[in-house]
Structure 1
Amino acid sequence: MRKENLIAGGFFAFGLAVLGGWALSQSATPAMAQAVDGPGPNLVVEIAGEANGKVVIDLLPDLAPKHVAQITALAEAGKYDGVVFHRVIDGFMAQTGDVQFGKAGGDTSRAGMGGSDLPNIPAEFSNESFERGVLGMARSQSPDSANSQFFIMFAPGPFLDNQYTVVGRVIDGMDVVDKIKRGAGANGEVSGPDQMVSVTVEK
Structure 2
Amino acid sequence: MSRIVLPVYTPRYKPNGSEVAVITTGKGVVTVQLDGANAPKTVGNFIELACKGFYDSLKFHAYKPNSVVLGGCPITRTLGPAQVEAASRGLIRGIHPGVGDARYTIEDEYAGKPNNKHVRGSLCFAHKSEPNSGSCQFYFSLSEQPEFDDAFTVFGMTVGGIDVVEALRVGDAIKGIEIMYADEDALAQAVAFETPKPGAVLESEGRSKAAV
Alignment TM-score, normalising by the size of structure 2: 0.68
| Residue type at the aligned position of 2:109 | E
1:113 Cα offset (Å)? 0.4
Distance 2:64 2:161 in 1: 18
Distance 1:132 1:113 in 2: 25
**Deviations 1:98-139 (CA, angstroms, capped at 9, x unpaired):** 12x12143675321101113x211111122211111011000
How do 1:135-146 residues align onto structure 2 when only pairs under 5 Å count? 135-146=123-134
How do 1:20-169 residues align onto structure 2 when only pairs under 5 Å count? 39-48=17-26, 52-99=27-74, 101-105=75-79, 108=84, 109-117=95-103, 119-125=104-110, 126-127=113-114, 128-169=116-157
| Residue type at the aligned position of 2:77 | K
User: Contact between 1:136 and 1:167, CA under 8 Å: does it hold in 2?
Assistant: yes
Secondary structure of the equivalent of 1:58? strand
Corresponding residue for 2:184?
none
1:40 Cα offset (Å)? 2.5
Distance 1:42 1:177 in 2: 16
Distance 1:104 1:176 in 2: 23
Runs (4+) of structure 1 exceeding 4 A deviation are: none
Classify 1:156/1:121 alpha carbon distance in 2 versus 1 (closer, same or farther; 3 Å): same
| Residue type at the aligned position of 2:105 | N
Paired residue total? 151
Distance 1:120 1:171 in 2: 28
User: Contact between 1:95 and 1:150, CA under 8 Å: does it hold in 2?
Assistant: yes
Secondary structure of the equivalent of 1:84? coil
- Asked which structure has the greater CA Rg, the reply is 2
**Deviations 1:64-105 (CA, angstroms, capped at 9, x unpaired):** 111111100000001101111100111111000112x12143
Match for 1:172 among 142, 157, 160? 160
Distance 2:69 2:19 in 1: 21
Corresponding residue for 1:201?
179
Corresponding residue for 1:187?
none
Secondary structure of the equivalent of 2:167? coil
Distance 2:78 2:62 in 1: 14
**Deviations 1:32-86 (CA, angstroms, capped at 9, x unpaired):** xxxxxx94211111110xxx21101111111111111110000000110111110
Identity over the aligned pairs, expressed in percent? Answer: 26
**Deviations 1:13-40 (CA, angstroms, capped at 9, x unpaired):** xxxxxxxxxxxxxxxxxxxxxxxxx942
| Residue type at the aligned position of 2:168 | I
Structure with the greater relative contact order (CA < 8 A, sep ≥ 6): 1 or 2? Answer: 2
| Residue type at the aligned position of 1:122 | E
